[in-house]
Amino acid sequence: MYLSKALRGACYFAVAMGVASLSYAAPDGDDDKNDLAPTGKGIGTVFHPGQPSDKPGQARTSKPSAGNGIFYHGGPVILGGTNIHLIWYGNWSNNTATTILPDFASYIAPSPYFNINTTYTDGSGKAVTNMCNLSTQANDNYSRGTSLGDTDIQAIVAAQHPTDTNGVYFVLTSADVNETSGFCTQYCGWHTHASIGGQDIKYAFVGNPDRCPSACEEQTTSPNGNAGADGMASIIAHELEEATTDPDLNAWYDRRGEENADKCAWTFGVTHTASNGSLYNMTLGLREYLIQQNWVNANGGFCALSH
């Protein structure tokens, strides 16, 4: 989950001051019986190996990998490339986001940036592939109104009759739409999965940061001249890499329940100045973007923009 700026700062402060209310597991290399499992929203919940996993009918196994600050907990990863499905919810008329974000989805992989995810494997050692495909785009003209709950997000996805178990369905909302479980105050985006039509479907919510620039935009002047869309690109990257390496919320996360992108949220590495004075840190296709770093699961673990 992509925490809002204020909440991310509060989490950093709480950990630094030792005031987190839930106990964590022993240091790296010990068993993971007290690891916090990611919920898709915020700090994880204690999950003991052997309990049922998030995936119906499948018990979670515990196979921690020590030394890189993030651990494998037995669940699947998306192999062979991740398909991206964009659902444009609300009013996107005359908004350049409808060009910027498909461009971003088309060029995010293969790239040195998405290659970071190849440092993550499943239980048999098969690695994530440095490949994504922009598969489908759909429009939803406020089918659930402008005030959405979590169940509405799932319903919006279900209305598309999704069948792609190697895909992530992104619900992208226009700036007049609110997600009432915490958009702008707790998070800027999140991902999860559900059984839809008998398939394990992965999906994500990404709100438009123009609704709350101080919470979900790093800068108000942006490389592509649309601060909301450019902010959404970083949030999409965050949820995409988490959904690829932890699609069912039972694979790769750390002792606190933070997934790979969580560990590097709101960090951008080396930046450059665009012609309009905004910052960017990578070029994908013909566009420049400011995209958060991701966690490299190698050499002790670290945040980076490439691997």
The answer to whether 189 touches 206, Cβ cutoff 8 Å, is yes
Q: What is the mean pLDDT of residues 238-265?
A: 96
**Sign (positive/negative) of CA torsion 307, 293, 303, 119?**
negative
Q: What is the C-alpha separation between 190 and 1, in angstroms, rounded?
A: 4
Provide the pLDDT confidence category of residue 48 given band limits of 50, 70 and 90.
Answer: very low
Q: What is the C-alpha separation between 255 and 235, in angstroms, rounded?
A: 23
Look up residue 268 and give its two tokens. 């951008």
pLDDT value at residue 36? 75
pTM: 0.85
Q: What is the C-alpha separation between 81 and 142, in angstroms, rounded?
A: 31
pLDDT value at residue 15? 30
Its domain, for residue 164, covers 2-304
In this predicted model, what pLDDT tens digit does every residue of 96-154 receive, in sequence order?
Answer: 999 999 999 999 999 999 999 999 999 999 999 999 999 999 999 999 999 999 999 99
> Which of 8, 50, 41 is CA-nearest to residue 257?
41
Asked whether residue 211 carries a pLDDT value surpassing 90, the answer given is: yes
- 108 three-state secondary structure: coil
In this predicted model, what pLDDT tens digit does every residue of 175-205 receive, in sequence order?
Answer: 999 999 999 999 999 999 999 999 999 999 9
- More confident: 15 or 167: 167
In this predicted model, what pLDDT tens digit does every residue of 213-235 receive, in sequence order?
Answer: 999 999 999 999 999 999 999 99
State how many domains the chain has. Answer: 1
pLDDT value at residue 247? 97
Contacts of 16 (CB under 8 A, 6+ apart): none
Alpha helices (H) along the chain? 5-17, 97-107, 150-158, 213-216, 227-245
- More confident: 19 or 96: 96
pLDDT value at residue 19? 28
pLDDT value at residue 38? 79
Phi, psi of 136 (to 5 degrees): -140, 160
